[in-house]
Amino acid sequence: MKILSGNSNPELAGAIAAYLDLELTKASVRRFADEEIFVEIHENVRGEDVFVVQPTSAPANDNLMELLICIDALRRASARRITAVIPYFGYARQDRKSGSRTPISAKLVANLITVAGAHRVLSVDLHAGQIQGFFDIPTDNLFAATVMSADIEARLGKEAAITVVSPDVGGVVRARALAKRLGNAPLAIVDKRREKPGESEVMNIIGDVRGRTCVLVDDIVDSAGTLCNAAAALAEAGATAVTAYVTHGVLSGGAVARVESSALTELVITDTIAPLEAVRNASRIRIMTIAPLFAEAMRRTSEESSVSSLFD
């Protein structure tokens, strides 16, 4: 097997390769003066099982084009199988028509990746499970809950009074999965609603969190507004501490400053997206690597063995 990295998150690709005791495939992924992307692979990949590691995070369009051109270059170089490893799948939040005459961009991106020549896709914590069905090629959606649960137990201890909290009704399935891994920990839900246009959201806590260490779990943190408001509501409801575990740390705009001044004790994100300098320097944000999970899934894919058994 060979691993090719784009420019989106070379650190993660390097960590995956190091875990598998491999060298990254020698290639140039560069831009011409007019910003056109050019890819050249500097070693033989004919008949090889190649994994292209490229999150399509910001700048999403540039990173997506890099991925497509890398796949095309490998296909034309006669790679036997090309797996698009997309730790963070951009456009995932556009998974349905949100109104009249609006696109389903996640489906369009899936079509682009398939037509470019990918044989399968590997991602983690897709924003919506149905995105797997957008692809006409095999798609493995890994779960970061295994990495999160191990970290929570190591940090807080197995006997800690933990309550897993979903920041909205839509994330209950994800929160329940993590709670099950933590020995069937109690579950709570933050219900939010806006009484009138222009008024702030009212947060209601479904479940008892008084005297508990609350662990908020979500797949994406972007502006961090919902997460910080949920943390404040939990603190008001009597939670002793509030920690958040989120797979994809988009953290755009003033999100870092918002987290730093919030009721959150700590925000833990994975390295699916290359962190900005502000994220690295934040005192309340910790980055947890997900490279071993991807490396094991890639090894099993290459060996044609079970990937799902990683989560048993």
Residue 38 has pLDDT above 70, yes or no: yes
User: What CATH number was assigned to the domain covering residues 145-289?
Assistant: 3.40.50.2020
Q: What is the pLDDT of residue 213?
A: 96
- 250-288 burial, b at 16+ Cβ within 10 Å, e below that, comes to bbeeebbebbbebbbbebbbbbbbbbeeebeebebbebe
pLDDT-above-70 percentage for the chain? 97
pTM for the whole structure: 0.94
Q: What is the pLDDT of residue 196?
A: 59
Residue 144 has pLDDT above 70, yes or no: yes
Residue 158 has pLDDT above 90, yes or no: no
Q: What does the pLDDT average to over 4-14?
A: 97
Question: Residues 78-87: pLDDT tens digits?
Answer: 999 999 999 9
271 is in an annotated binding site: no
Q: What does the pLDDT average to over 135-142?
A: 96
Residue 250 vs residues 63, 147, 247, 253: alpha-carbon distances, Å = 14, 19, 9, 10
Averaged pLDDT score across all residues of the chain? 94
Identity of the residue numbered 240: T
Identity of the residue numbered 239: A
- Are 2-142 and 145-289 the same fold in CATH? yes
User: What CATH number was assigned to the domain covering residues 2-142?
Assistant: 3.40.50.2020
The token pair at 150 is 């191990």
93 is in an annotated binding site: yes
The domain limits of the chain are 2-142, 145-289
Question: Residues 281-290: pLDDT tens digits?
Answer: 999 999 999 9
Question: Residues 255-270: pLDDT tens digits?
Answer: 999 999 999 999 999 9
Question: Residues 180-208: pLDDT tens digits?
Answer: 999 999 999 998 776 655 555 767 899 99
35 is in an annotated binding site: yes
- Comparing 13-27, 151-165, 255-269, 281-295, which segment has the lowest mean pLDDT? 151-165
Residue 138 has pLDDT above 60, yes or no: yes
Residue 277 has pLDDT above 90, yes or no: yes
224 is in an annotated binding site: yes
The token pair at 236 is 């008001």
Which residues are catalytically annotated? 192
- Residue with the bigger pLDDT between 299 and 203: it is 299
Q: What is the pLDDT of residue 197?
A: 57
127 is in an annotated binding site: yes
23 is in an annotated binding site: no
72 is in an annotated binding site: no
231 is in an annotated binding site: no
> What is the C-alpha separation between 78 and 276, in angstroms, rounded?
36
Question: Residues 227-242: pLDDT tens digits?
Answer: 999 999 999 999 999 9
Q: What is the pLDDT of residue 199?
A: 52
Q: What is the pLDDT of residue 203?
A: 76
36 is in an annotated binding site: yes
Contacts of 190 (CB under 8 A, 6+ apart): 165, 166, 167, 168, 203, 204, 205, 206, 230, 233, 234
153 is in an annotated binding site: no
168 is in an annotated binding site: yes
